Structure 1
Amino acid sequence: MNDVLIHHARALARQRARPGVPETTRAMTDLFAALPDEPDRYHEIFTAEGEVHPHWRDFHALLAAMTPEQMQHRTELVERLVQENGITYNIYSTATDTSRPWRLGSVPNLIPAAEWQEIAAGIAQRADLLNRVLADLYGPQTLLAEGLLPPELVFGHNNFLWPCRGMQPPGGLFLHVYAADLARGPDGHWSVMADRTQAPSGMGYALENRQIVARAFPELYKQLQVQSLTGFFQALQQTLARLAPTRGEPPLIVLLTPGRYNETYFEHVYLARQLAMPLVEGSDLTVRQSVVYLKTLNGLKRVHAILRRLDDDFCDPLELRSDSALGVPGLLEAARAGTVLIANALGSGVLETPGLHGFLPRIAEFLLGEALEMPSLDTWWCGEAPALEEALERLPELVIKPTFPSQRFDPVFGKSLDKAGLAEMRRRIARRPYAYVAQELKKLSLAPVWQSREGRFTARSAAMRVYAVATEKGWLVMPGGLTRVAGKEAQEVVSMQRGGISKDTWVCFSPSTRRETPAVRPLGVSDLLRQDPYLPSRVAENMFWLGRYAERCDNNARLLRSALSRLVEVAGDDDSGLEVALDTCRFLGLLEEDDDPALKLTASLCESEGGSLRGSLGSLIWCASQVRSRLSHENWIAIVDLEQEADRLQPGVMAIGDSLVFLDRLLMSLSSLAGFAMDDMTQDNSWRFLMIGRRLERLQFLASAIARLLETPAATGRTGLDWLLELADSTITYRSRYLSTAQLIPVLDLILLDPANPHALIYQLDKLVSSLRQVGDDEDYGLAAIRDQLATLDLGVLESEMQYPARLPKALAILARLLRDIAAAGLGLSDQLTLRYFAHVDSISQPTVST
């Protein structure tokens, strides 16, 4: 009974803290009324007495005045923006599809500016300290000699890289970006749970969170004077450019990603765009004479700095992990020679161990001459006898964690173990004490999360990741960060891999001050560019295949629609157009000879193997994800729409009517994609390879389809020619010109020889020859000759042959052979482009350009 009274009293106190809400409606509109009271935990909005924290009053007043429907509307806005922006977070799993939308709570976490200043000061000091620790470990190793760090904790770490010993990074800086995971205890004070020193993730998500949540609550974002995040990213750009070892030329800085299967790949793409850096994979880089180069279409260009998102041991298969297919052979040699800046320095992952925490206070006194401002959670490395003894004694109240990241086990909560479990854990620790760390179990603070199904807020455990970047004037801490809350109410571990939810972090009530903007070299007339000088070959290849798969999806969708619609329309009657459509489907592997056409074609929509429509859609989406940094926001939304279309194709057989509706919708989406390519993209070399892919695919498909038609009796029949016009998307043009039924000579002229028809073969050949010339290729790979051969085709001769039905098939067969030669020329061109531009097997890969 007392608990009920206490809860009611606190609820009344919360209502009194909300000015401006009518007394009669407070209980009805209070979305927080169902929050549980947990006096032993800090709540981000409410005090232990049920009052609203002062910095939350304005935001709380707005939320308390909302109906559940209004709150749900803002939540749906956030979810829609996440979906439209294509923000994903990949989950490591054995499942085929491991990507899922990024989870973002609509209500931010608020921190007053005065409190943030204390956090920032502690983080800046800690970043400076850890940078000095790295310099010592890979240099004189005084900390080991003085007994301030145990050798087992350093040399037993898989990220202590012996080949980096004695290495001096440019400017002597090992850490360029630092992140810390913070926990707020019941007393409201912050402690460090984990240090992120290798390749800290999440700052891109923090920026994207800000842009979305600020749109959900624009009135409060301005009213609360929220500090901007942009200065942090400008400082990062400036630091990398300042420290990059150049010879006076503008530095080329790249962002190195493991690729699209990495859990935070979206962030890599997003950061590369925000920081104006080429996004590269290991295969895009090469080391020549201890210098790193980027493989571009125009040869090799020197790389001066690398912002890496690749773990230490994967970076160089020659000197580090030999089975790595993600790194750059020879990268360590270049780093040792000082010709490239790597941020963070190779080997910085050695500090990512909770075992270090207990030693940092003494190390701070030794290296800085001052006390550690931002404490760690109380931590005992069991490799020391006194710590082992205390950890074993207090095991039920501690959390057991692995000392090194290479150990694969989840944290174990002592309180969750029974008597037998505790005994077994003690035995495990006693066998290998150096491999275990015991850490205090701090009850994390609680933050509100909106539950759409229940129409109310619930409280979840929360932690915050904050970021710092090294500058000329010291460490700059991002005024905000990535707040993360647990995916379930009772969950104590906060992890995005376990379904966690992110929040924007607002540092409030700080009058905007004039910030120094980084010095930027002024660009003049001599600096003007009309092409991307740093276009990686891999990006050009993926643009090429994006174009091919987009056109292939369009072709197959039109072919399937033509076949299925005729299956419905002819209703058992003979139709030469249907026969040639089915024959073309068999040629492309969409149909077997003995298959039931209706059953097989509708089922083929849902198949993902081979050259099926769904398989091609998957390949299109994959290629688009590889070049996302080259696509506009609107263009990417069209890709997301296509992905949703593909997701609608569930295994099984669709009804013919449903299949036709789906194909119509899909062709509309594909048309949008084509429209963005023509009108939304700068027509540079990356665009040209996209269009070369489209033209080449269309050329091969139509040449093969027309050749097969000409070898059948349907070539001279109206239904067969109608089918060809439909397949070539030229029906409207034909009818508007001739006001007549389809006939052979005008149909062939329109689809083969009309240079104004974007679906004509000669149009494809003209564009291909022109595009090759524009990318600087001095060869046309035989296309010009075969284009001239097609242009000299005399339809008058064919018309005269039509007067002699016995001779007409032979004339059509000769034309069909020419079309097959054209298709073969297209295949040959694809192979030649791959060898020359993407695989770099000829002389174009040899020149090196230092700029």
Structure 2
Amino acid sequence: MPKTASPAPTPAIEPVSFDHCIAPSKAYDEAFDASHGLRPHWQSLLDKLTKLGVQGMRDRQAHAQRILRDDGATYNLKSDPLSPNVWALDIIPNVIPEAEWYVLEAGLKQRANLLDLLFKDLYGPQNLIKDGVIPAQIVYSHPGFLRPCHGMELPGVKNLVLHAADVVKDQNGNYLVVGDRTQTPAGAGYALENRTVVSRVMPDLFRDSNVRRIIGFFHTLRRSLSEMMSHNTDNPRIVVLTPGAYSSNYFEHAYLANFLGFPLVQGGDLTVRNGKVWMKSLHGLSQVDVILRRVDDSFCDQAELRADSMLGVPGLLEVARAGNVLIANPLGAGILEAPALMSFLPQICEYLLQEPLRIPSVGSWWCGDQDNLAYVANNLHELIIKPIARSALQKSVYGHTLNEQERTALLATIQENPGNYVAQAYTPGPHLPTWQKGKLTCRPSLLRTFTVADGNDYSVMPGGLSRIATSEQEHIVSILSGSSSKDTWVKTSQAEPYRPLLEEQHEDEAQQTNLPSRVIENLFWFGRYAERAETCLRLMRTLFKQLNGFDPLPIESKRILLHAVSHQTGVLPGFTSDEAELLDAPEETLAALVTDGDLIGSIKSNLHAMLACGEQVKEMLSADTRVILNELRDHIHEVDRAYVNGLPAIPEESLDSLVTSLLALSGLNNESMLRGLDWVFQEIGRRTERALQTTTLLQSTLTQALPSMPQQQVLESVLLSVEALISFRRRYRTRTRVAFGLDLLMIDRTNPRSLIYQVEQLRKYLDALPKPERQQLGLALEQRLIIKSLNDLQLADLEELAQADETTGERKQLTELLTSITEQLEQFTTIISDRYFDHTAGPQQLIKSKWKVQV
């Protein structure tokens, strides 16, 4: 009998080691007890993670980061569309036992109720100040206290809709609140994204762990926002107000807007008229009833708050005072974040709730009090010094990191104006297991919890956003410290059923989608830049093929093609200057036209502009579109590397992946997008740009007659760049005539890249656009321009167009026709822009802040 080969041995799984997972002596260890044994609620989780092995953990961590990148999950601090900061996630969750969570949950509910009552008092009767519970100075000197909001009556039982608290544990495992977030509590969207990703990369582990669902928090948020304006309307229009794509948290704003089904708007998308807030859209003005804001207090209204803001809505505060719009959280809530209030919170709780504070705040001392100042002076080496208000210019100072001379200087600064400073106890974050650099280690953490108004009380998200340090030197974790994030699992005794968000929506009719004109404008330009980049890429790729062909390119053909590249990119004079040196050695200039992002009109600059438009409308892009855009970013970086020393050996091949990605993007939009106005305007942008690029290409290559062989090479190059050369050869065999080329490129309705095809598509899309309220006589100007362009093409005599002047060698009729069509298309885009896009200038300051000093 023949011998059978023995099966190959299964490679041994490298086990996960716990050697580096022991917390320092002064920090609480979440996973291990004092004898270094695993705590019960961590036992099963870490046992299962151990079985995955080192490689299994690496694979899942890499998978998680790929999902985050494909989802467009970013935390951007540099606002670079080519290299956005992908949100960092550690796949090992933070686990909280059920009994421990109930204690924390009760304390967070109490804290939210307390802050709500505190807000009502500070902007109402101010009994806390009158009765001496809190010093007036810490309120009136704080920039978060907005005097224009005093006396404002807000609808709903609860004024404070959302509250986030940053909590840690002391050395004994007791929870402490180190900060409150009440202006624009960020992080709930990231917590939801973390949960989605972790449940995908470790589905079995998540399913078997009996984790409480967090979807109910978003049900409650949606319901609460709707009910708070139920006295005005049965179906309130709710929007999410964002500072824009350059905000570091823009992903979360877009993610929440999509998840909740609310339009995402910027300040310029809203306007105040007749005492109400309206959203500007293609269909006119739509009243807004509720604004879930992600813009800080002082930037929300240029008329009454900060005049130099470009993010708000002038007159918004007046509408809120009249009760015609609900803002969540209300303007003025920033005062509740004042760290100085923490030292008085136990007394405030006894005064307002007649009960002790369940979760204490971290030890806090306001330096405006003489006894507190004396304590700070004697214990500066153990404290953290903070300004009374958060500021990018004033950072927290850690006393234990200073030498004697630095502490003396700091104390002198505090004593100059003690009321402006608060000291807090230094409490290292509790240490959690984390997967970093291929091993299991232990790092300090911070938990941000989220609470939402729910009728007469508050509901707490069963979980939250855990942050964990990535460096051994970090002991205090913050959002800006370069930390990573974790999903937060609250264990439960029994599994919870899944509840989709749509379950609680009771509308019987579908709501009309009203898009801000800003969104439409960005989609329009997204389409234009994509088409512009693709045309330039195709022409550049064709030029490289011709320059690197077997036979040298005749000087006439080379000159015309180089001219065409300059005209197509718009980087002039470029090769059109006919400098002998430039024409003989074009490599350096061609490389710059590909990779120089600072050169307006280059391929990279067009791709950069397209990606920037995509970032502005991130909430409108599908998951597959985001994947393609990420691939495009990768290909751009690959091209940069290939061109680092100038043109590579085979430059055209390096551009193939860029062209393929742009084609995939175009195909996806054509096959997957609903035929709404967003798709229509993107297509108008694409078709207009393709028509303009085609006229430019024909005008720069075929309007000048050449000898037979160069003319054939130029015509074939043009056909090759628009993927029409094979079709041309099949149709006309070996008869390479300019008239035949014009037939295929200008008036062939079966060619999706011909001029007439673009114009006919534009005529069709015009019928889908909203009509003006006032019916004008006859056809609109944009319709007349398109019809005229269509007639010009249909009436064109191709043989006459191909005839060249015997003296100049120029095809004058072709030049005149292409020039006319170009002018008509450019006028068409101007009219579309003026009619449908919002170009109102931002609010102008009547008084500049620097004038106040002079006055």
TM-score higher than 0.5: yes
CA positional deviation for 1:74: 1.4
CA distances 1:211-246 after superposition (whole Å, capped 9, x unpaired): 111122211111111111111111111111111366
What is the match of residue 704 of structure 1? 696
- Count matched residues: 806
Q: Say whether 1:497 aligns with 2:497.
A: no
Q: Say whether 1:330 aligns with 2:319.
A: no
CA distances 1:423-469 after superposition (whole Å, capped 9, x unpaired): 222222221111111111112211122222xx312211101000000
Alignment of 1:311-326 (within 5 A): 311-326=296-311
Please state whether the residue corresponding to 1:699 is helix, strand or coil. helix
Judge conservation of contact 1:584–1:705 (CA < 8 Å) in 2.
yes
State which of 467, 470, 475 in structure 2 corresponds to 1:484. 467
CA positional deviation for 1:411: 1.9
Please state whether the residue corresponding to 1:569 is helix, strand or coil. coil
Judge conservation of contact 1:227–1:510 (CA < 8 Å) in 2.
no
CA positional deviation for 1:696: 0.7
Q: Say whether 1:73 aligns with 2:46.
A: no
Judge conservation of contact 2:703–2:814 (CA < 8 Å) in 1.
no
- Output the CA distance in 1 between the equivalents of 2:759 and 2:474: 61
CA distances 1:696-729 after superposition (whole Å, capped 9, x unpaired): 1111111121123232124963212111212222
- Output the CA distance in 2 between the equivalents of 1:335 and 1:744: 67
What is the match of residue 815 of structure 2? 816
Judge conservation of contact 1:253–1:306 (CA < 8 Å) in 2.
yes
- Output the CA distance in 1 between the equivalents of 2:498 and 2:161: 21
Alignment of 1:511-550 (within 5 A): 511-513=494-496, 520=504, 522-524=506-508, 527-528=509-510, 532-550=512-530
State which of 24, 44, 60 in structure 2 corresponds to 1:38. 24
Higher mean Cα deviation, 788-797 or 372-381? 788-797
Judge conservation of contact 2:245–2:615 (CA < 8 Å) in 1.
yes
Please state whether the residue corresponding to 2:247 is helix, strand or coil. coil
What is the match of residue 458 of structure 2? 475
Higher mean Cα deviation, 348-357 or 508-517? 508-517
- Output the CA distance in 1 between the equivalents of 2:719 and 2:20: 65
- Output the CA distance in 2 between the equivalents of 1:137 and 1:97: 46
Alignment of 1:434-833 (within 5 A): 434-452=419-437, 455-513=438-496, 520=504, 522-524=506-508, 527-528=509-510, 532-569=512-549, 572-574=552-554, 576-587=556-567, 588-590=569-571, 591-592=574-575, 593=577, 594=579, 595=582, 596-609=585-598, 610-648=600-638, 649=640, 652-714=644-706, 717-740=711-734, 742-777=736-771, 779=780, 780-795=783-798, 806=806, 812-833=811-832
Judge conservation of contact 1:618–1:646 (CA < 8 Å) in 2.
no
AA paired with 1:490?
Answer: Q
CA positional deviation for 1:658: 4.9
Judge conservation of contact 1:180–1:192 (CA < 8 Å) in 2.
yes
- Output the CA distance in 1 between the equivalents of 2:766 and 2:310: 32
Please state whether the residue corresponding to 1:504 is helix, strand or coil. strand
- Output the CA distance in 2 between the equivalents of 1:611 and 1:325: 29
Please state whether the residue corresponding to 1:171 is helix, strand or coil. coil
- Output the CA distance in 2 between the equivalents of 1:47 and 1:327: 50
CA distances 1:117-175 after superposition (whole Å, capped 9, x unpaired): 11111111100110110011111111110111111110111111111111112225321
- Output the CA distance in 2 between the equivalents of 1:484 and 1:284: 34
What is the match of residue 775 of structure 2? none
Please state whether the residue corresponding to 2:753 is helix, strand or coil. coil
Judge conservation of contact 2:240–2:262 (CA < 8 Å) in 1.
yes
- Output the CA distance in 1 between the equivalents of 2:383 and 2:808: 89
- Output the CA distance in 2 between the equivalents of 1:413 and 1:616: 46
- Output the CA distance in 2 between the equivalents of 1:731 and 1:395: 78
State TM-score, norm by structure 1: 0.91
- Output the CA distance in 1 between the equivalents of 2:493 and 2:610: 46
Please state whether the residue corresponding to 1:147 is helix, strand or coil. coil
Cα 1:169/1:589, change in 2 over 3 Å = same
What is the match of residue 343 of structure 2? 358
- Output the CA distance in 1 between the equivalents of 2:391 and 2:233: 41
- Output the CA distance in 2 between the equivalents of 1:612 and 1:366: 66
AA paired with 2:268?
Answer: S
Judge conservation of contact 1:447–1:460 (CA < 8 Å) in 2.
yes
CA positional deviation for 1:546: 0.2
AA paired with 1:497?
Answer: L
Alignment of 1:65-144 (within 5 A): 65-91=51-77, 99-144=84-129
Cα 1:765/1:785, change in 2 over 3 Å = same
AA paired with 2:537?
Answer: A
State which of 235, 251, 269 in structure 2 corresponds to 1:284. 269
Structure 2, gaps ≥5 residues long: 1-11, 772-778, 841-855
Please state whether the residue corresponding to 1:107 is helix, strand or coil. strand
CA positional deviation for 1:645: 2.4
- Output the CA distance in 1 between the equivalents of 2:392 and 2:757: 60
Structure 1, gaps ≥5 residues long: 1-24, 842-851
CA positional deviation for 1:661: 1.9
- Output the CA distance in 1 between the equivalents of 2:78 and 2:749: 50
CA positional deviation for 1:606: 1.5
Alignment of 1:193-212 (within 5 A): 193-212=178-197
Higher mean Cα deviation, 49-58 or 708-717? 708-717
Please state whether the residue corresponding to 2:386 is helix, strand or coil. strand
CA distances 1:163-190 after superposition (whole Å, capped 9, x unpaired): 1111112225321110000011121111
Please state whether the residue corresponding to 1:134 is helix, strand or coil. helix
AA paired with 2:815?
Answer: A
- Output the CA distance in 2 between the equivalents of 1:165 and 1:528: 39
AA paired with 1:138?
Answer: Y
Judge conservation of contact 1:179–1:468 (CA < 8 Å) in 2.
yes
CA positional deviation for 1:654: 3.1
Please state whether the residue corresponding to 1:301 is helix, strand or coil. strand
- Output the CA distance in 1 between the equivalents of 2:546 and 2:426: 69
Cα 1:769/1:737, change in 2 over 3 Å = same
Judge conservation of contact 2:702–2:738 (CA < 8 Å) in 1.
no
Alignment of 1:184-333 (within 5 A): 184-244=169-229, 247-333=232-318
Alignment of 1:357-436 (within 5 A): 357-406=342-391, 408-436=393-421
CA distances 1:647-695 after superposition (whole Å, capped 9, x unpaired): 3325844334353122111000100110111011111101110000001
Cα 1:824/1:761, change in 2 over 3 Å = same
CA distances 1:620-665 after superposition (whole Å, capped 9, x unpaired): 0000011111110001111122222233325844334353122111
What is the match of residue 839 of structure 1? 838
Please state whether the residue corresponding to 1:735 is helix, strand or coil. helix
Judge conservation of contact 2:801–2:813 (CA < 8 Å) in 1.
no
RMSD, aligned CA: 2.4
Please state whether the residue corresponding to 1:655 is helix, strand or coil. coil
CA positional deviation for 1:381: 0.8
Judge conservation of contact 2:542–2:652 (CA < 8 Å) in 1.
no
Please state whether the residue corresponding to 2:279 is helix, strand or coil. strand
Judge conservation of contact 1:469–1:475 (CA < 8 Å) in 2.
yes
Please state whether the residue corresponding to 1:459 is helix, strand or coil. strand
CA positional deviation for 1:290: 1.5
What is the match of residue 16 of structure 1? none
- Output the CA distance in 1 between the equivalents of 2:726 and 2:617: 35
CA positional deviation for 1:410: 2.2
Judge conservation of contact 1:603–1:653 (CA < 8 Å) in 2.
no
